[in-house]
Chain A
Amino acid sequence: MTTERPVRVLLAILGLDQHEAGAFAVATLLRDAGMEVLYLGRFATPEIVVDAALEEDADIIGLSCHSWEYLYYLDELFELLHGREISTPVVVGGSVIGRDDENEIHAKGVAATFGPSSDANEIARQIRSLAEARGA
């Protein structure tokens, strides 16, 4: 990283999914690892996420998902990111990501996925390295 500021992660939940426990757990572990977390909360749309990522100069866009809705929002999200030439890496974490989904969403452009069994240190390490690769 060229600047001193901590890695900045935007965290959001898309659509009508109201489960927040996973997002809070991840927010806490990223803060404990010295990162800055901007929690956008529930009921975000791809547009709200992209606007906030630009406005807040986020290094990473993190999506927490506990319903299958995210699968249908990702296309719209990447379309907006590409259209506005934004290269912020998107990572997705959540209980509902199956192995088939993992392959599918990686193909769409998701940089990393995390599930309930992911190690806390590993989540922080991967997010940091994605952010640093982008800053470099």
Chain B
Amino acid sequence: MRIDAPTEVVQKALHDAGWTFLFAPRFHASTRHAVGPRKELGARTAFNLLGPLTNPARPESQVVGVPKPELTEFVARCLQRLGTKRAWVVHGGGLDELTLSHSLPPGAYAIAALHRIARRRGFDPKQLRGSTILLPAYCEDCSYQIHMPYELRMRLALDAVEFAATEMPRFHAFLEDTYYISDGGLNSIEEMALGFVEIREIVRALIRRGIDVDSFAPRIAILVNCRMDLFEEVAKIRATRRIFARMMREEFGAKDPRSWSCAITAHTSGLSLTMAQPINNVARGAVQGLALALAGVQAVEISCFDEAYRTPSHDSHMVSLRTQQIVQLEAGADRVADPLGGSYLVESLTDELEHRIVAMVAEIESLGTLEQVCDSGWFRRLFQQAMTRRAKAIQDGSETQVGVNAFKIPEDEDQLLRDHSESKIAPCRERIDEIRQFKQDRDAGAVAEHFARVREAGAASGINLIEPIADALEADLTQGEIAGALRLGVGEAYDPLRQMEPPVG
């Protein structure tokens, strides 16, 4: 919708549709002069409230949203004095306008925290949207180590999905992340095979708990990787949808058609990006973004062009976002569902990948229980071999990487965007002081009480951990302290890295 439409369009819309939108900078005789200074100030001012109060149309009836609950009465009185006959002044708790995608494992903490924040603000947790990643099987062996034994990791995952299925049904608590496990160098078959092994294990365990598969399956999503081989990545996602649908319907007996489809979101591979000639990474991102649009994913995040050599900058984030918008709005790559369907290449690749992914899932499942396979170091070896294999392929040139092992330019000529790579984001030291202060100011009695409760809940079986975790967060325990209490509960060290002491003896 065009929000800054001219008068004729606005009038026509009102006539035809019965409603219209008046864009303040165009129609508001006085506040439009404030647009520039407000943007320059970049902070909220009284104008955020003045806009609806000084509506030039002088409506007799009005609905006004305010950013804080304590402003509802104030604005209502203002409207009364201005002569408005009927008005609703509303506040939405802030949580209705955002979705939160939390990517630090385990998702249990984020789910517990969001649930309590919503409740405190009078917002129904059932309306919360967003996602948290699940990674009980592989996180210790990859880049998300949480230093917990398998059983506790799996329990946190299952408890989170079970809790969300009833308490936060719109929230994606079951997001399988195959990006992080694969970006060391796994190929697309290994990536999805490991993903399915984990999904299957969690689904089976939830069903064993007596939870109806159709209560959580519609919210299962997969966060996949996207490398540079365009057609293979499209085929991988098509094969994933097929495998998922068949598995949910035939193997797990899901009856709701929404349980047969999974939302797929994707990050583009950071491993595919190069430090040499960094602007080439923009081209890589565009190709990957196109592949994902052609594969019909529900969401995309193109990795930033500077990600190969620094913490991504604001500028590079903007380029990634703009690339996505160009793929969608200019190239129109998402206009038709599955535009490559029917192509011999893509169909045969999809069949092949489907077959090979399913075969690898069966191979892994034949090795023993998932706990045994994890603890035996099988996955850790697979990840290590993949990293070594990938590094060798680039070194010996069997995998072409432009600017690295082909079409190189001398380092001193490789200057484009070089300055950009040198600017750093300074560490926020104040945050350390803030956390110290936070710990000093909290109620020590409540901390001790909830530390003990989480520890006991960890030691007991059959208790869902989300409630005690949420209570502990409300008592100002930190995520690290809660993790430590859970570890103590299952007989592990509070801090396996021996850097921290428990908050209570």
- Enumerate chain A interface residues (CB-CB to B < 8 A): 18-21, 24-25, 28-29, 42-43, 45, 67-68, 72, 95-96, 98-100, 115-117, 120
Taking a contact as CB atoms under 8 Å apart, the answer to whether A98 and B308 are in contact is no
Q: How far is the CA of A98 from the CA of B184 in the complex (A)?
A: 22
Chain B interface mostly helix, strand, loop or mixed?
loop
- Closest Cβ of chain B: how far from A36's Cβ, in Å? 17
Taking a contact as CB atoms under 8 Å apart, the answer to whether A116 and B384 are in contact is no
Can you name the residue of chain A whose Cβ is closest to the Cβ of B408? A117
| CB of B27 within 8 Å of the partner chain | no
Taking a contact as CB atoms under 8 Å apart, the answer to whether A98 and B311 are in contact is no
- Closest Cβ of chain B: how far from A50's Cβ, in Å? 15
Q: Which of B145, B309, B310 contacts A42, CB < 8 Å?
A: B145
Q: How far is the CA of A45 from the CA of B498 in the complex (A)?
A: 10
Taking a contact as CB atoms under 8 Å apart, the answer to whether B143 and A18 are in contact is yes
How many chain B residues sit at the interface, stated as a range, is: 20 to 34
| CB of B97 within 8 Å of the partner chain | no
Taking a contact as CB atoms under 8 Å apart, the answer to whether B391 and A98 are in contact is no
20 residue pairs A–B, Cβ–Cβ below 8 Å? A18-B143, A20-B143, A20-B387, A21-B271, A21-B390, A24-B384, A24-B387, A24-B388, A25-B391, A28-B392, A29-B391, A43-B497, A45-B499, A68-B310, A95-B308, A95-B309, A98-B422, A100-B422, A115-B275, A117-B276
0 or 1 for each of B427-452: is its CB under 8 Å from A? (1 = yes): 10000000000000000000000000
**Best-surrounded residue of A18, A24, A100, A117 (most CB of chain B within 10 A):** A24
Q: Residues of B contacting A25 with CB < 8 Å? A: 387-388, 391
Taking a contact as CB atoms under 8 Å apart, the answer to whether B309 and A24 are in contact is no
- Closest Cβ of chain B: how far from A134's Cβ, in Å? 27
Q: How far is the CA of A96 from the CA of B310 in the complex (A)?
A: 5
Taking a contact as CB atoms under 8 Å apart, the answer to whether A116 and B271 are in contact is no
Q: Residues of B contacting A67 with CB < 8 Å? A: 311
Ordered nearest first, which 10 A-B pairs have the shortest CB separation? Answer: A25-B391, A18-B143, A24-B387, A21-B387, A98-B422, A116-B275, A28-B388, A95-B309, A21-B184, A43-B497
Q: Residues of A contacting B427 with CB < 8 Å? A: 68, 72
- Closest Cβ of chain A: how far from B395's Cβ, in Å? 6
Q: How far is the CA of A111 from the CA of B145 in the complex (A)?
A: 31
Q: How far is the CA of A20 from the CA of B271 in the complex (A)?
A: 12
| CB of B421 within 8 Å of the partner chain | yes
Taking a contact as CB atoms under 8 Å apart, the answer to whether A24 and B275 are in contact is no
0 or 1 for each of B136-155: is its CB under 8 Å from A? (1 = yes): 00000011110000000000
Can you name the residue of chain B whose Cβ is closest to the Cβ of A21? B387
